[in-house]
Amino acid sequence: MDSDIVEPVNLGSSELVTINQLVDIVERVAGVKLRRHYNLDAPKGVRGRNSDNTLIRKYLNWEPSIRLEDGIEKTYRWIFDQITVRFSSLNQMQKPAPRRQVVAE
């Protein structure tokens, strides 16, 4: 996508999500269950986060159409595949050559 935009614009999901909801999504995508620890004495921050896509909508009449969970899942699968391929290659390189049996005549 080409444009003459020179200022930063947000590009992300406009879905409002809390940190707990984000952790829920990551757990589902990764197939894990994480133990959560909360510091209830810490200052309270914002209740949730989302991307304000006002500028990209204004400048390009466009905004992301992929749900946050779908984007996280696609990204997670890509990273997982890359790591799997890399470790598979490393394991192949590190395996010792099979021993040959020498038969004396």
- Are 3 and 60 in contact, with CB atoms under 8 Å apart? yes
Residues 6+ apart with CB under 8 A from 63: 14, 53, 56, 57
Mean pLDDT score, 29-58: 93
CATH superfamily of 19-94: UDP-galactose 4-epimerase, domain 1 (3.90.25.10)
Give the tens place of pLDDT for each residue, 61-100. Answer: 998 999 999 999 999 999 999 999 988 877 776 666 555 5
Domain ranges (residues) in the chain: 19-94
Q: Which string of b and e fits 58-76 if b means at least 16 CB within 10 Å?
A: eeeeeebeeebbeebbeee
pLDDT value of position 104: 57
> What is the pTM for the complete model shown?
0.72
